[in-house]
Chains A and B, each alone.
Chain A
Amino acid sequence: DTGVSQDPRHKITKRGQNVTFRCDPISEHNRLYWYRQTLGQGPEFLTYFQNEAQLEKSRLLSDRFSAERPKGSFSTLEIQRTEQGDSAMYLCASSWSLADTQYFGPGTRLTVL
């Protein structure tokens, strides 16, 4: 399978705990995006990388959120001191460039108790 993969698929955590998600993009893709999606809404942009450089962060991404893409390959999204409002589906996508199709992973569903 050469698509975008995400791990874990589901995460249940207690409020205040830290969580980390991983995304493995399609190997040739330069761009990697993180989105958050809540029930009944479309995906909301969080941040994106061009190779290893993080080029933009949404104001939705508070100081508790951090993302990395070391060596321009896989990416991690960490949420510190989770809150119940962080409960959502976290989606990762990759593409060659802005002008090209974004391919999405299956998502990580986070539940904060």
Chain B
Amino acid sequence: SQQGEEDPQALSIQEGENATMNCSYKTSINNLQWYRQNSGRGLVHLILIRSNEREKHSGRLRVTLDTSKKSSSLLITASRAADTASYFCATDGDDKIIFGKGTRLHILP
């Protein structure tokens, strides 16, 4: 079963715009991670945010975590063509990492 669920399933935006993806989960977590996957490739780790943190930044990425709502968001600012990929949230639960189905982001030129 998949604990995290990303929203929207697919997103297309113009290059330069900001992209926001959301993740909802069901049970308590210790941390939540966001990953990127280019087509047919392995997963690249983006950010890990712990349950006692509310916001984290890394370059053009901003992640927020609201444990009361069991949700997280990933914001990519000033999007680029290279940001086209699938983005997954992953939560730790039952001693393992569980992934959602992902958001497919397409950056239009």
Q: Do A and B come from one complex?
A: yes
A35 to B95, CA, bound (A): 15
Q: Kindly identify, within residues 99 to 113 of chain A, every residue whose CB is under 8 Å from any CB belonging to chain B.
A: 99-107, 109
A21 CB-CB contact with B under 8 Å = no
Residues from chain A with Cβ under 8 Å of B100 in the complex: 42
A104 to B46, CA, bound (A): 12
B2 touches A42 (CB 8 A): yes
Interface residue count on the A side (C-beta < 8 Å): 25
Residues from chain A with Cβ under 8 Å of B42 in the complex: 91, 104-107
Q: From the candidates B4, B45, B96, name the one contacting A101 in the complex (CB within 8 A).
A: B45
A106 to B40, CA, bound (A): 9
A33 CB-CB contact with B under 8 Å = yes
A16 CB-CB contact with B under 8 Å = no
Residue of B nearest to A40 (CB): B101
Q: From the candidates A35, A55, A99, A104, name the one contacting B92 in the complex (CB within 8 A).
A: A99
B85 CB-CB contact with A under 8 Å = no
Q: Map CB proximity to B onto A26-42 as digits: 1 under 8 Å, 0 otherwise.
A: 00000001010000111
Residue of B nearest to A105 (CB): B42
Residues from chain B with Cβ under 8 Å of A89 in the complex: 40
A41 touches B101 (CB 8 A): yes
Closest-CB distance, A73 to chain B (whole angstroms): 20
Question: Which segment of A43-51, A63-71, A78-86 sits at the interface?
Answer: A43-51
A45 to B99, CA, bound (A): 8
A99 to B97, CA, bound (A): 9
Shortest 6 CB-CB distances between A and B: which pairs?
A42-B99, A104-B43, A106-B42, A104-B42, A43-B99, A42-B101
Q: Which residues of B pack against A, CB within 8 Å?
A: 2, 4, 30-31, 33, 35, 40-45, 48, 50, 88, 90, 92, 95-102
Task: Provide a sorted-by-A list of 5 A–B residue pairs whose CB atoms are within 8 angstroms.
Answer: A33-B96, A43-B43, A89-B40, A101-B48, A107-B42
